[in-house]
Chains A and B, each alone.
Chain A
Amino acid sequence: MTDLAHPEPVAVGGSSDLPPNPPQRALRLHRELARVWANDRGWWGQVTAVSHTTLGLRFMATAFVFFAIGGILSMLIRTQLATHQGAFLDTELYNQIFTMHGSIMMFLFAIPMLEGLGIWLLPKLLGTRDMAFPRLTALGYWCYLFGGLIMLGALLFGVAPRDGWFMYTPLSDATHSPGINADVWLLGVTFVEISAIAAAVEITVTILRQRAPGMKLTEMPLFAWYMLGTAAMMLVGFPPLIAGSVLLEVERAFDWPFFDVARGGDPLLWQHLFWLFGHPEVYIIFLPAAGAMSTIIPVMCRTPILGYGAIVAAILGLVFLSFGLWVHHMFTVGIPHMALAFFSAASVLVAVPTAVQVFAWIGTMWKGRPELHLPMLHILGFFLTFVMGGLTGVMLAIVPFNWQAHDTAFVTAHLHYVLIGGFVFPMMAAATYWMPLITGKARVKGLGEAAFCVILIGFHGTFFIMHLTGLLGMPRRIDVYPDNPEWVALNLTSSIFGFVLTIGFAMFAVDLILQATLGQRARRDPWRAPTLDWAMPVPSPNYNFASLPLRRHQGGPAREVIHALARGVGALPGAPRGRREVLVTTAGNARPCHVAVLPGNTALPLVLSACIAVFVLLMLASLYALAAVALAPVAGLVWVWARGMAPVGDLAPVTIAPGVDMPVHHRATPPTLAQSGLHALLVADGALFASLLFGLGFLSVVTQGPPPPPALVQNPAAGIALVIGLAAVAGAAVFARLLAAGYAGRGASWAGLGCNLVALVALAWLAVQLDDPRAHARDALRAAMLGYVGLHVLVGAAMAAFTADQFRRGEIAPQTGRGAIAAWGNWQMFTAVTAGITVAVVLVQAGAP
């Protein structure tokens, strides 16, 4: 056995490349790979599937079903508004329906759809066989499905959320929204967002660490750049929403007054947290769609994209700018004009990177020879729609006009121009473009073009005049307008065309079904594309590539490398060791690092998400003690999950190309995929922590509520608990780092476990002495931050115990690898830093010297 040090990464950047493998029989390779990468048979195979192809498609199909449900709800809204008396729905039901329309379209259609596209497409585009964390893909899907079903169930039972999709408090608090309606939103959406965080983590890691050998970051397909930007925004953008939802749910359930004015809270804190998520959300939705555009337009125009570097810069600019303009949803809350001017400037500035992309796309069309295939029609639909939506967006960024148009039908029109123009049309282009790869069938001509025309007419007929309806004063979210006959004709027109739009979408769905069922066999690479997603048979096999594309296989016409890859000429051919192997490369130049062995089919993700669903349902039923008990199986299953990462089987180095041996990931030099994933997760965790800090700062600086009662810091016992707790957390971090750096052995894991347990006791002692969190928002937020630190210490203790257990099992040894040591070290450092910051902030806030 060799020692742990692994061979120097092979230089394949620049002109050098991995040597090709000798060609083999393609059919034998296919059978070998198909057996290893296949789902289990029958319906059980759907339960245990972890394949990115299966789950990506399932994400997209489920999202499309939710799109249909949201569309039906929108038809109910349009029916209600068609006349001014609206004697169709009562107000309570109408409020539930428009709230659910928005929530479904945002959280159950758009986000899962783009996650599904990324999960399905990225490994194919980047030249690998699966996402970095297949079980996490499946967990994300089940959480999405169960969360969505909980929300739909609430709608069926008439207890759906009814406070608008941005859930402004105090309207959504326990006083003004009794019943479980608001809880359904807060718990259901947070449950669904597990899938968003999971997708963001694995998309980030897959793009950075699993590109085909030699595919430099600066040369990777633009779609990957777009998804990298999207994933980064999701990692930072979703935590404020999760933080806000948890705080609001805690306020509703336990009366902790984070947002209650009478007790020092502030309803504007919710708005800030919501829109800190809500505006980046718009770009989270737009970027993947723009990525599809940047992929499809050059193929349709038979030319490379114009301005690759400028587009990458525009993506980075959008990611950065989109976090600086959330306040433009809050121009009317009474913020000083000069502060508004800053956000107004940021809001119009964001139009610049968008313009760069739009003109790069049109320039690409000038440069090439556009061909009017069906995907190109939908791309024209994008231009005809999105440009106007962008321009009304600029108008809304201008403060005085926003004061008039805000919360009117003008905004409704604008956001549908942006979301349908900027997301749905590109997604339809993407669907028609990639259908041959999904189904292996060519399309049935005719219906698709008709569907496009009906959709385009229906859309503009519905929403173009809605701008005027809004300027004539019609606010959002009203169900009747008996005193305003001047709005009737406009609304009736919108309603009629709304039904046309729905018919168009139905035709589109029928077209896809016809293609999947009646279409003739598609040729390989029907679009003559230059990207690796088409360098495989249609429909795509579960393993994507029989051998991973080398540098020489990248960037050229896909059809010229299909056979070479199928015959095993690329890296890591076949599955001779009977396990799912992918190549892990460096983030910048994609030099091979090691071979990762991915987990196979398992029902664990389904069981874990079902346990989380039980917890959510118990919370909804206000059975809080039982809900706490229900977390025990969740914790147990997470342990089982982690055990699934233990080294088993043959750990010998793998030959990926003639003369190039790579270690398997258990014995590789860090960072492995799992460690990169933990880094990404900690980014999101840090954003969650920052959201809580933002809340603390906002309440003490901006909010002018009643002064809080005297605080605990004067209490010496609390001070002692604080010092002991902090010292124990720091001690755990030191032991974990000593272990990770190789200066300590198994004793360090036990010592770290002890430190964490001491810290837990100290924190519990502190919690007992804490001021009543129901008394004042400040005390509630301090208690929430204590809970945050406590949860991290608890997880740290579990990781220390896991590491100690790995020592006991002999899994941490020179010949087997380092187990969970690196992960535990990172977690413990993060915990110590956040605990230290928390204590420092609370002390400063309390006026300590």
Chain B
Amino acid sequence: MTGRALIWVAPLALAACAGPLSTLDPGGHIARDIALLWWVMLAGAGVITAFVLVLLGFAWGAPRRTAQGRWVYGLGLWFPLAVLTALLGVGLWVGERILPRDDGAVTVHAHAFQWGWQFTHDGADGQPVESDGVLHIPAGQPVDILVSSQDVIHSFWVPRLGGKMDAIPGRVNRLRVQTDGAGRFDGLCAEFCGLGHAGMRFVVVAHDDWPPADPDTDPDTGPDTTPETDTNGQEFP
């Protein structure tokens, strides 16, 4: 009975979690680590909520002898300390796993402006190749994205690949992503940046061949728009 229910419920639940911007539909190990962390925390939070509500339910009725130490220190102090210490340790471990490190990863640039993205990667000849609204990265290997901003604070976020990183004027922030394989991943600006915020989307294209021979003709990508002249050859601060 349970098994049959699971057969029906599991795909539905997974389908509910799918989506081009879903953090629960990871396209790489970084997002998968964080999604796993989420599922573990959700299970823990569910158990704790149920526990508290059961305690609350049993509170109704005649007065009982109640040991102050057990409630205030046992449940109030030691119980959360134990849970939180474990959770903090796991969080730190996951955080360290997904951090950028000096391992010669491919580096690309993401430069945000009101309201759009300009991306740069090194072409086959070593010359920077610019693209507006489409970020090209190699598939299946770690990539560091150097995030910067032209004007106000934006935030670079590709939910299926990992966490977000703010684009702050005067700073260059480094974010690591890694895909499982070739494909397209939707991204967006996550920090409110004014009138065009909702439309500040972009696409990440992960290529098996790197550098891509001719990204503009990639059937998945479609024709690339020409970079604007005033941002052409922009020095990143």
Contacts and interface: CB of A to CB of B under 8 A. Distances in A.
Real binding pair = yes
Interface stretch (B1-9, B189-197, B214-222): B189-197
B58 A401 contact: no
A407 interface: yes
Given A384-B53, A705-B170, A472 B19 contact: yes
Contact of A170 (B31, B33, B153, B159): B153
A306 B66 contact: yes
Contacts of B55: 359, 362, 366
Contacts of A472: 17, 19, 21-24
B84 A399 contact: no
Given A176-B151, A367-B63, A358 B45 contact: no
Q: Interface residue tally of chain A, by bracket?
A: 35 or more
A475 interface: yes
A130 B117 CA distance: 59
Nearest to B58: A366
B192 A171 contact: yes
Interface in A30-66: none
A326 to B, nearest CB: 16
Contacts of B186: 473, 483
Interface in B187-205: 188-195, 197-199, 201
Contacts of A220: none
Interface in A337-388: 337, 340-341, 344-345, 348-349, 351-352, 355-360, 362-363, 365-370, 380, 383-384, 387-388
B34 interface: yes
Nearest to B199: A480
Interface string B61-97: 1111010100111011101110010011011101110
B225 interface: no
Contacts of A266: 170
B99 interface: yes
A686 to B, nearest CB: 30
B123 interface: no
Given A171-B152, A404-B159, A334 B166 contact: yes
A355 B19 contact: no
Contact of A92 (B34, B90, B162, B195): B195
A217 B90 CA distance: 42
B16 interface: yes
B163 A398 contact: no
Contact of A365 (B56, B72, B174, B195): B56
Contacts of B192: 163-164, 168, 171, 407, 476-477
Contacts of A163: 192, 194
B87 A398 contact: yes
B166 A348 contact: no
Contacts of B10: none
Given A171-B153, A359-B71, A476-B192, A403 B34 contact: yes
B98 interface: yes
Nearest to B173: A334
Given A337-B99, A401-B37, A306 B155 contact: no
A401 B198 contact: no
Given A310-B76, A407-B191, A479-B198, A332 B48 contact: no
A370 B60 contact: yes
B159 A369 contact: no
Given A171-B153, A370-B59, A471 B95 contact: no
A332 B163 contact: yes
Given A400-B95, A468-B16, A387 B197 contact: no
A515 interface: no
A400 B41 contact: no
Most buried by B among A360, A362, A480: A362
B205 to A, nearest CB: 17
Interface in B160-176: 162-166, 168-171, 173-174
B128 interface: no
A267 B168 contact: yes
A199 B190 CA distance: 37
A404 B23 contact: yes
Interface stretch (A389-397, A516-524, A826-834): A389-397
Contacts of B171: 268, 334
A332 B45 contact: no
Contact of B84 (A176, A351, A484): A351
6 contacts: A351-B84, A365-B56, A387-B48, A388-B45, A394-B84, A398-B37
Given A359-B71, A359-B76, A384-B53, 15 more contacts: A261-B237, A266-B170, A307-B76, A332-B166, A334-B171, A348-B84, A355-B79, A362-B55, A366-B55, A398-B87, A404-B34, A405-B23, A472-B17, A472-B19, A486-B19
The 5 closest A-B pairs by CB, nearest first: A403-B163, A473-B21, A261-B170, A363-B71, A356-B76
